[in-house]
Each structure stands twice: as C-alpha cells, then as structure tokens.
C-alpha cells in the first residue's frame, strides 16, 4: 500500500471538488478498493471518503420507480420492502453475491465500480493492460477460467464480476452521476460499463471527478423475475455465468423477455436482439436454443473458459424454462 492523503467531506459539492484531480479516488465501503490498495493495484494519492454524504436513502420516485442511493448498503437494498416485492430479481442478485459481512459494507456505487477479479490484474508482478496499459495481457495465454466469451479484445478478456449490476441491466435501471459544477447526468446501467477495446484500463464511462449519486429503477413491470447464478461453490464465489431475467407471458406466448448476463463479458451483457426474437414466440426448447444461438453467435473461448459457451446456453434455457413454465 502506498501512503495516501485522506479527506472526509461533508457535502456532495465538496466531495466532487476533492475528487476532481487525477489520482484521487472515492471510497465507500472499501471492500474492493482497500484490498486492491494493499496489493498496490490501486495507488491513489488521495482517498475521498464519501461516507458522510447523505446518499444512503432508498425512496420512491414520482413515476412509480425507486431510487437507490449510492451509499445504500447492499444489505439494506436487498432487505428493502419495495425491492423485495417489486424488484425481487435485484434482491436475489445482491444476496447471491459475496457474504453477509461484505454486503453490510458494500454500497450501490462501489458495487457498480468493483473491478475485475482477473488473477493477473490483481498480481502486480504480472502483465496486465487494464492495470498497466501496454504491458500485455497475462490472462489470454494463461488461466482464463473466469474470463469473458463475449465482447473481448486482444487487449483484455476480463469480466465485470458483479451480480447487482446484472440484475439492474435486466431491469433497465439508470445510473445517476454528478461532477463538480455540473448537474446530474443519467446513464443506463446497460451503457455504464464498457467493452475493453484498446483501452481496457477504463471499466466504465465514469470520468475523472465524477461521483455516482444513485441508481433509479423504472416502475415495476409485469413478469416473472429470476436471477440464476452458476458457481462451483454455493456461496462466496463469483458467477461462472449468471442470468437475470424479467419474463412475462400473455396467452401462452412470451410478451416480455428482458435478459442480462453476468460472468461472460466486460460488462453486464444485454443483447436487445434476444427480446426481439423471443417476444411473440410460444416458449419451447427450440425457441430457447435459437435465443442461445443468437446470444452466443460471436462467443469466443480462451481455452480455460470454453465451457462458458455451453454453460451459458444451458443456463439461459433453464432460466427461460423456469420463467415460462416449460418442462425441459
């Protein structure tokens, strides 16, 4: 860990001023950032502790949705009455992540910004373009078990590892972002994380000095909500593959299919073509297969993670079967 300065502002204005310079970082629950600082993966000059800001509330929005403050803990969000009744997918996704102790500290903003679990990223004696642009990618020829099969580049094949944002992508949530002297901007969760391309050092669209203030969920929609997380250990493990789904049926046909996937890309993966394909269809194994064909059309494995291609296909089929009541 490098020595660093530490500030604890009381207001959002002050906080955005303090986070404006390069080499500063916001710290919320610290469950990801402190680990990475100990490993010298993150080396901020100054830490801006945002925990004194009042961004922890969870409140109804005018249009019937819900606004979850950036500092709401994962535990509080998952336990919130409206989350449990209207957005059970989100509660389940959060509860499928990390451990109770971590969730008690982890926040909405921190969870969105958590960094990849790529083994090479966290080992500073290994090449990694994300940590050290231009140094190479250790994972491509190495142990890529956790890595992505969609949207990869020659520069980076890492995944966004979290669960919460995958559910939020299926629910089409919006991220609220602010910076010094500017008013809040809104970015769909689906566009918040980015693909690695040739700048894998950038996980998401946050600009230097920007702070996430919260996330809004649109008014709840009809449909069955499912979060399925596949992993070898039943708790305290990141997803090998996860599927978040909001699926509705009308007269025996699929009338809504909002799907997002975790563990397979640098971002929660949302492919709008899936909804187009599925809506209007009578659910069946063949239809699910077609959806998987489309989803995985460009999928590419890197040896160790080849299994994610069939696994994603099967996890998708199981989720859709569960959502539509089809026996497979």
Partner 1 sequence: MKQDQPATDCKLDQMSQDLLGKPIARSEGLAKVTGTAPYAAEYPVDNCLEGVLVTAPFARGTVTDIDTQACLAMDGVVAVVEDERMTARAAQGTAGEAPVQQPRTVCYWGQPIALVVAETFEQARDAAKHLVISFDADDLDDVAFDPNAVDPENKESTSQGDLTRAMNEASSNVDARLTTSGHASAAMEPHAAIAEWDGSKLTVYASLQMLNYNIAELADAVDLEEDDVRLISRYVGGGFGSKLGISEETVAAAIAAMQLERPVRVVMSRQQVFQCIMRRSETTQRLRLASGDDGALTGFGHYALVSNLPGEEFAEPVLQSSQFLYAGENRLLEMDVARVHRMTAGSVRAPGEAVGMPALEVAMDMLAEEAGVDPVELRLRNIPENHPVEGTPFSSHKLAECLKQGAEAFNWDSGKRKPRHTKDGEWWIGTGMASAARVHNVSEAKARVTLKADGTAMVETDMTDIGTGTYTILGQVAGEMLGLPRDKVLVELGDTQFPRGSGSGGSWGAASVGSAVFVACQALRKKLAERAGVSEDELSLKDGAISGGTSLVDLLDGKDLAEEGHYEPGDIDEDFVAAGFGAYFAQVRVNRFTGETRVERMTGAFGFGRVLNEKTARSQCIGGMTWSIGVALTEALHFDPVDGHLVNCDLAEYHVPVHRDVPDLDVIMVEERDPAASPIQAKGIGELGMCGGAAAIANAIYNACGARVMDFPMTPDRVLAAMPYD
Ligand X SMILES: Cc1cc2nc3c(=O)[nH]c(=O)nc-3n(C[C@H](O)[C@H](O)[C@H](O)COP(=O)(O)OP(=O)(O)OC[C@H]3O[C@@H](n4cnc5c(N)ncnc54)[C@H](O)[C@@H]3O)c2cc1C
Binding site for ligand X (CB under 6 A): 25-33, 35, 50, 70, 97-98, 102, 105-107, 109-111, 113-114, 162-164, 211-212, 238
Asked if 120 is part of the footprint of partner 1 (rule: CB under 8 A), the reply reads yes
16-75 positions binding ligand SF4, by CB under 6 A? none
- CA 186 – CA 195 distance, rounded (Å): 19
Q: Which residues contact 182 (CB under 8 A, 6 or more apart)?
A: none
CB of 303 to ligand SF4, least distance (A): 13
Q: Binds 65, which of ligand SF4, partner 1, ligand X, none (CB < 5 to 8 A, cut-off by type)?
A: none
| DSSP symbol at 289 | H
Smaller CB distance to ligand SF4: residue 67 or 115? 115
Smaller CB distance to ligand X: residue 38 or 273? 38
Q: Binds 123, which of ligand SF4, ligand X, partner 1, none (CB < 5 to 8 A, cut-off by type)?
A: partner 1
Q: State the first-to-last Cα distance of the chain, in angstroms, to the nearest integer.
A: 52
Nearest to 309 by CA among 156, 189, 152: 152
Asked if 286 is part of the footprint of partner 1 (rule: CB under 8 A), the reply reads no
Q: Binding marks (x or -) toward ligand SF4, 137..166, rule CB under 6 A?
A: xxx----------------xxx--------
Q: Which residues contact 297 (CB under 8 A, 6 or more apart)?
A: none
Smaller CB distance to ligand X: residue 13 or 276? 13
Asked if 121 is part of the footprint of ligand SF4 (rule: CB under 6 A), the reply reads yes
- CA 86 – CA 102 distance, rounded (Å): 24
CA angle in degrees (0–180, nearest 5) for 180-182-185: 115
Asked if 265 is part of the footprint of ligand SF4 (rule: CB under 6 A), the reply reads no
CB of 62 to partner 1, least distance (A): 40
- CA 45 – CA 181 distance, rounded (Å): 23
Phi-psi region of 130 (alpha: psi -120 to 50; beta: other; left: phi over 0): alpha
- Residue 45 token pair: 């000059």
Q: Please report, as ranges, the residues that interact with ligand SF4 according to CB under 6 A.
A: 116, 118, 120-121, 128-130, 137-139, 156-158, 200
């Amino acid at each position: 860990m490098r020595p660093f300065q530490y500030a604890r502002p009381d207001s959002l204005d002050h906080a955005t001023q303090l986070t404006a310079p390069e080499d500063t970082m916001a710290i919320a629950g610290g469950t990801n950032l402190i680990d990475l600082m100990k490993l010298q993966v993150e080396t901020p000059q100054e830490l801006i502790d945002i925990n004194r800001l009042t961004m922890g509330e969870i409140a109804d929005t005018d249009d019937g949705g819900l606004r979850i403050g950036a500092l709401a803990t994962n535990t509080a969000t998952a336990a919130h009455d409206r989350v449990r009744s209207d957005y059970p997918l989100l509660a389940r996704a959060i509860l499928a992540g990390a451990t109770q102790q971590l969730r008690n500290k982890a926040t909405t903003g921190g969870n969105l910004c958590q960094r990849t679990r790529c083994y090479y990223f966290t080992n500073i004696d290994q090449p990694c373009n994300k940590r050290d642009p231009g140094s190479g990618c250790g994972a491509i020829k190495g142990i890529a078990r956790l890595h992505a099969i969609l949207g990869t580049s020659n520069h980076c094949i890492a995944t966004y590892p979290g669960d919460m944002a995958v559910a939020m992508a299926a629910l089409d949530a919006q991220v609220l972002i602010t910076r010094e002297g500017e008013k809040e901007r809104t970015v769909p969760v689906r566009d918040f994380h980015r693909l690695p391309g040739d700048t894998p050092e950038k996980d998401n669209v946050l600009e230097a000095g920007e702070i996430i203030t919260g996330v809004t969920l649109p008014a709840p929609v009809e449909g069955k909500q499912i979060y399925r997380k596949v992993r070898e250990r039943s708790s305290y493990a990141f997803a090998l593959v996860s599927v978040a789904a909001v699926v509705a049926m009308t007269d025996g046909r699929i009338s809504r299919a909002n799907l997002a996937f975790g563990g397979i890309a640098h971002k929660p993966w949302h492919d709008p073509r899936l909804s187009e394909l599925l809506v209007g269809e009578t659910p069946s194994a063949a239809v699910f297969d077609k959806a998987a064909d489309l989803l995985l059309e460009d999928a590419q494995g890197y040896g160790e993670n080849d299994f994610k291609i069939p696994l994603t296909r099967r996890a998708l089929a199981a989720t859709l079967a569960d959502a539509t009541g089809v026996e497979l």
